[in-house]
Amino acid sequence: MLGYVTMYVYLFISLYRFYKVQRNRNQKGLLEACMMGLIGFIVSSISPSSVSNLFFHWVFLGFVICTVSVFSNKQYQQHEENSY
């Protein structure tokens, strides 16, 4: 459970950091949707353990992880371009 909570906290903090530096409205909307989805799944996960068996829960987490990965790579590439 500690690993699961740590993953949720890391994803939410990462999304929030990306949200603060973004200028594009579409990207901010995507980040807001991911953060609200994480909050919604925290609330919905306060139920029996059968939630972990639901397929859409894992697909959503995969989507959020991919979103964080794409924004991390984009930020890294911008940092590399600015350093030259």
**Mean pLDDT rounded to a whole number for the chain:** 85
pLDDT value for 47 = 66
**pLDDT of 18 above 80:** yes
Its sign, for the CA torsion 67, 18, 16, 6, is: positive
Q: Which residue's structure tokens are 């353990």?
A: 49
Round the CA-based radius of gyration of the chain to a whole number and report it: 15
For the entire predicted model, the pTM comes to: 0.81
- 40-53 burial by CB neighbour count: b if 16+ within 10 A, else e? ebeeeeeeeeeeee
